[in-house]
Amino acid sequence: ILPLVSVNQILLLLLVLTVCAILYNKVHQVPLALKNETVDLESAEEMEEEIPVVICAAAGRMGAAVAAISSIYSNTEAGVLFYIIGLKTTIPHIRKWIENSKLKEIKYKVVEFNPMVLKGKIRQDASRPELLQPLNFVRFYLPLLIQKHEKVIYLDDDVIVQGDIQELYDTKLAPGHAAAFSDDCDLPSTHEMVRSVGMQNTYMGFLDYRKQAIRDLGISPSTCSFNPGVIVANITEWKHQRITKQLEKWMQRNVEENIYSSTLGGGVATSPMLIVFHGKYSSINPMWHIRHLGWSPDARYSEQFLQEAKLLHWNGRYKPWDYPSVHTDLWENWFIPDPSGKFKLTRPDS
């Protein structure tokens, strides 16, 4: 039997060792705790290995998605993960196109969009029925389609990216902002184009100010609009603010009250975003969204200006895979012919 003094010494030694262990752990956990407290969203985003880019592949215009993807992939060293969104009937076509072309090297996921989520939320009396295609509303549902990313880029299919997509991804979003867009008044060189084709670049061009629901918003009709064809989105903030629910609410209001008809400037997908994001979005570098290239078959930008642009957007009726259209050479540089032969370019001599 050990003497009592020895047992007491052993117990004392164990107590000292336990206290030392606790103190050691606390001291070595402090830097980690401080580190966690000081990591902001931007730092977390920079740690992501891949840049998620969402593009839709719609029937009849898949060549647009292919050209956009080709331009992005060719102009960056960054790792890009393409989320290609399609309807059930179109997915096999885009998958075959990618797998049987040089795009088979890209990293991508094909995601099916269920148009049933739009039931009862879209008016059917549009003067431009193409604006009612279900995939036009994919941007409303980004958190449902993209699960694991903090920050996401959404692009319309009628764009060409001439810069490094990493630059666009690095766009800083202010605290509390769920998205960044391009203001329609942001670049003096586009003002002449806007004037020459009679395009609207204010809220007046998108919302019906004769309706009480619009006047009640308290938004001046002369407020500069923005274009949601290029979006940098913070998915966490989007969920927190329930942006999708807000957009759906205004879609349903429009079904009931016709507060933003597609006969106005931007159709039915832009208007609810203008309402929901008014005064609550960050800005994208203007050179990362040079638009209106599809608004007129005659109005052209200078070649030098277009060479400096990071992203070109053929928003409007006159698309670069159709005829007539402008600056089609810049688009065709990135087009990859359809291996199945279903998608063909429309040209004057075709």
- Domain harbouring 272, CATH code: 3.90.550.10
In a domain, residue 302? The reply is yes
Residue 9, pLDDT score: 74
339 part of a folded domain? no
Q: How confident is the model at residue 193 (pLDDT cuts 50, 70, 90)?
A: low
Here the tokens at position 6 are 């020895």
- pLDDT at position 155 is 98
Please state the φ and ψ torsions of residue 283, each to the nearest 5 degrees. Answer: -105, 140
Q: Within a domain: residue 168?
A: yes
pLDDT surpassing 90 at residue 52: yes
Per-residue pLDDT band for 5 (boundaries 50, 70, 90) equals low
The number of distinct structural domains making up the chain is 1
Q: Is residue 349 part of a domain?
A: no
pLDDT of residue 94: 97
In a domain? residue 2: no
Q: How high is the pLDDT of residue 343?
A: 96
Range of the domain at 322: 51-186+200-333
Under 8 Å between Cβ of 213 and 273: no
What tens digit of pLDDT does each residue of 76-105 get? 999 999 999 999 999 999 999 999 999 999
Look at the block and give the residue holding tokens 């604006």: 131
**pLDDT tens digits for range 232-260:** 999 999 999 999 999 999 999 999 998 98
The answer to the question of residue 31 being in a domain is no
Distance CA 93, CA 227 (A): 29
3-state secondary structure of 137: helix
Listed residue (108, 120, 21) closest to 73, CA to CA: 108
What does pLDDT average to over the chain? 86
- In sequence order, which residues have a C-beta less than 8 Å from that of residue 40 and are 6 or more positions away? none
Q: Tell me if the pTM is above 0.95.
A: no
Q: What is the per-residue pLDDT for 47? A: 46
Bigger pLDDT: 131 vs 52 = 52
Beta carbons within 10 angstroms of residue 322's beta carbon: 16
Report whether pLDDT(226) > 90.
yes
Q: Quick check: is 6 in a domain?
A: no
Let me know if residue 192 belongs to a domain. no
- Rounded to 5°, the CA angle 239-244-250 comes to 145
Please, which residues have CB within 8 angstroms of residue 253's CB and are 6 or more apart in sequence? 213, 259
Confidence of residue 56 (pLDDT cuts 50, 70, 90): very high
